Amino acid sequence: MKQLTWIATCMLSLSVLLSSCTDDGVQEQSHSQMTKTATGDIRETTKSIEHLPSFLSAFEEEMAVLYQQAAEHRELLENIPCYCGCGQSAGHKNNYDCFVYENKQDGSVVWDDHATKCGVCLEIAAESIAAYDQGKSIKDIRHMIDEKYKEGYAEPTPTKPL
């Protein structure tokens, strides 16, 4: 029940957050490197998934919690497509890419701020993580997401079939 309350709170907060998303106030911290892509997304490197990117400081805590959860659910989200159009616009292959651009061999992480600006990315990750935490299989979650987002959304990312 606590998990469902968190997800509900997160989803409500995200709608408010997305209406005020800007790049203002994003500051580079000494432990990270930050770049901006041609599509306007910010990528920031930190030394591990335990160190969240500084661009999240412009948002409420729920955004950082979801980013942390996404990083901790890599295997799950790499098997879940995103339906916001980021497969075509940003070259994403799955929902994980909306949060993390790269996991390096030394343990460092290149984060992507794409999800901070996209309710579809956030919803898919939150729904997937909640279902996984309730014991649903990755295959069942993939089916649930595909069914929910198959109409009225952009083409899914080219996520590998299960």
Q: What pLDDT does 4 receive?
A: 42
- Per-residue pLDDT reduced to its tens digit, 58-80: 999 999 999 999 999 999 999 99
Q: How many CB atoms within 10 Å of residue 154?
A: 15
At 33 the pLDDT is: 86
Percent of the chain's residues with pLDDT above 90: 77
* Global confidence as pTM: 0.81
- Over the stretch 99-113, which tens digit does the pLDDT of each residue have? 999 999 999 999 999
To the nearest whole percent, how much of the chain has pLDDT over 70?
A: 80
Segment 122-127 shows an average pLDDT of: 98
Query: What does the chain come to in residues?
Result: 162
- Helix then strand then coil, in percent of the chain rounded to 5, is 50, 10, 40
pLDDT band at 38 (very low <50, low <70, confident <90, very high): confident
Q: pLDDT-derived band of residue 37, with 50, 70 and 90 as boundaries?
A: confident
